[in-house]
A and B are shown apart, each in its own frame.
Chain A
């Protein structure tokens, strides 16, 4: 059974940093692209960042470029999101997702972790 379990969320002041983790199990992690998708309170879904299966290439939405870094440790089957210079508009539930082999849609999602940016 595929499982994605996020951790590391919480309350953080604007301008500070936070690192999210996602522990994956039930599939061969190193075979799949992975991504983070977020959802602001009572809002829609927004793709944040993706990483190739080897970790050699990364992709970001414009609003987080230069502030967020997606990475992975295939030996530990873990995905990360380092978030720096956080802003109030980054407040959201962050979901760890698996991208399918064939195309850029997400077939499995974690339960999500809340990040609140507020002073």
Chain B
């Protein structure tokens, strides 16, 4: 399964509601996770099974979706959210999306 993330670059203001998209080439059956990678750091798990928040992750992060289309939402963007976000599917094979780079406007 191939994953297409959009947009590749997103610029938003502090406090904005931000939505990142991930589309699969086939049905993912909700076996989708989201990772945050800050510059020079290892990826961090944010969301698994489409909408389950990993322990310790702020509640402003949420996930949704079904079938082939999935979304990561940040309800109120904070400066520390500057990072690249990757979606990842584990329904059929193990593949990552190409990432969305999020920056502050």
Q: Using a CB–CB distance below 8 Å, which chain A residues touch chain B?
A: 44-47, 50, 95, 100, 103-112
A-B contact pairs, 6 of them (CB 8 A): A44-B98, A46-B96, A105-B45, A107-B45, A107-B54, A109-B44
Task: Tell me which of B41, B42, B43, B44 has the highest count of chain A C-beta atoms within 10 A of its own C-beta.
Answer: B42
Bound Cα distance from A52 to B86, whole angstroms: 25
Q: Using a CB–CB distance below 8 Å, which chain B residues touch chain A?
A: 31, 33, 35, 41-45, 48-49, 54, 86, 88, 90, 94-99
Q: Tell me if A44 and B99 are in contact (CB < 8 A).
A: yes
Q: Give which listed residue, A44, A103, A109, A111, contacts B96 with CB less than 8 A.
A: A44
Task: Tell me which of A50, A106, A111 has the highest count of chain B C-beta atoms within 10 A of its own C-beta.
Answer: A106
Q: Tell me if B48 and A103 are in contact (CB < 8 A).
A: yes
With contacts A104-B94, A108-B45 known, what are 9 further pairs, Cβ within 8 A? A44-B98, A45-B35, A47-B95, A95-B42, A95-B43, A103-B48, A103-B49, A105-B88, A107-B45
Q: Which residues of A contact B94 (CB under 8 A)?
A: 47, 50, 104
Q: Tell me if B86 and A45 are in contact (CB < 8 A).
A: yes
Q: Tell me if A105 and B33 are in contact (CB < 8 A).
A: yes
Q: Which residues of B contact A95 (CB under 8 A)?
A: 42-43
Q: How far is the CB of A88 from chain B (nearest CB, A)?
A: 21
Residue on A with the closest CB to B42? A109
Bound Cα distance from A95 to B48, whole angstroms: 19
